[in-house]
Structure formats: C-alpha cells, structure tokens
Amino acid sequence: MSEEHHDDAEHESGIKTPKQLITVVAAAIIVPVLVIIMLTQFVTLDNKKSPGSEVYTASAVAARIAPVASDAVFDASIVVVPKTGKQVFEAQCTTCHTAGLLGAPKFGDAAAWGPRVGKGYDALLQSALHGKGSMPAQGGGDFTDYEVGRAVVYMANAGGGKLVEPAAPAASAPASAASK
C-alpha cells in the first residue's frame, strides 16, 4: 500500500497553482522565440562589421600598400632574373645527367656528348625543350626556353662542346632598358 502511494507522488506535476501554469506556458512560448532570434543573429553575423574592420577591406588595403605596390615601382625594381645554365642543371637536369640515368649522356662525359654536340645547338635545344627518348620535355622542369638553352650550353660545354650562350630574349633584359 505504502509503495503505491509513493508512485503517485512521483508522477505528480510540479504545477500546483494557476500562476505556475501561466508562468510555464509563457516560458514555453518565449524561450523558443528567443532561441530563434539568437540563431538568426548568429547566421547574419557575417554581414555585420565589427568596429575597426573597415581597415581590412580590399580597397583600404590597396590604398595603404599603393606606394610600394604601384606598377611603376614594380617595373623598375622587381625583375624576374633568368636562371643560369648551372642553376637549371642543378635544379632539374642533374637528376638524370649526373649519373647517366635512363641512358642520359653524363655530365662532363666528352665521349657521350661529342656526337650529340656535333648535331648543333639548335638540335640539342629542340631535344631538351620537347623531350627525346626517355627525357621528358624540359627534363620535366618548368623553365623558359632561354633558361633551357643556357642549361644545354652548360652541359654540352662541360662535355667538351664549344657552344655559345644563347642571346637573352628582349623581354628579360629590363636592366638595360632601365639604365636608359
């Protein structure tokens, strides 16, 4: 008997007066509404600017770096310096040409380079630019034609050739243009 009574007490609701009922009903309406309002605020937060953030807008940044970012300054001082034949060789060609990988003529091996150099610079350059046999175009590198040419001369001459460095293309000679 006493156990039954205990169960009843457990299932009793906490609401005992009309005032409590009103409070609970009001809360049941107001709380979800508040949550929804807060969520919409959160979602639209992106569009709101926090104080001081205007200084990071693209136009404001552009205006601030204008003195150093202008074309005039860039043209005169930032020049892409072409790599030397040695630099290209050390960056790319050495992979195969130092050890003679895949049957590549070894660097400094006059016997291997002699007959190839005999074909002339242009033939060698075309092979280096577009690939030959197991050698991919540019030896798999990403250089200007001028840089590849310099690497060809560097390697061929190390192998006993007497090739002349290719002339620098006009576009990569701004140093002389700037000194005018």
- Provide the binding-site residues for ligand HEC, judged by CB under 6 A: 88, 92-93, 95-97, 101-105, 116, 123-124, 127-128, 132-135, 138-141, 148, 151-152, 155
Q: Measured in Å, how far apart are the chain's first and last C-alpha atoms?
A: 112
Nearer to ligand HEC, 98 or 172 (CB): 98
Nearer to ligand HEC, 79 or 91 (CB): 91
CB of 143 to ligand HEC, least distance (A): 6
Cα–Cα distance for residue pair 109/96, rounded to 1 Å: 13
CB of 85 to ligand HEC, least distance (A): 8
CB of 111 to ligand HEC, least distance (A): 14
Nearer to ligand HEC, 86 or 132 (CB): 132
Location of structure tokens 């140093």: 175
Q: Which two tokens stand for residue 29?
A: 């309406």
Nearer to ligand HEC, 91 or 168 (CB): 91
Helices and strands, number each (H, E), in the chain: 10, 0
CB of 129 to ligand HEC, least distance (A): 9
Please name the residue ranges forming H helices in 131-170: 145-158
Nearer to ligand HEC, 54 or 122 (CB): 122
Cβ atoms of 92 and 101 closer than 8 Å? no
CB of 168 to ligand HEC, least distance (A): 17
* Three-state DSSP state, 2: helix
Cβ atoms of 157 and 163 closer than 8 Å? yes
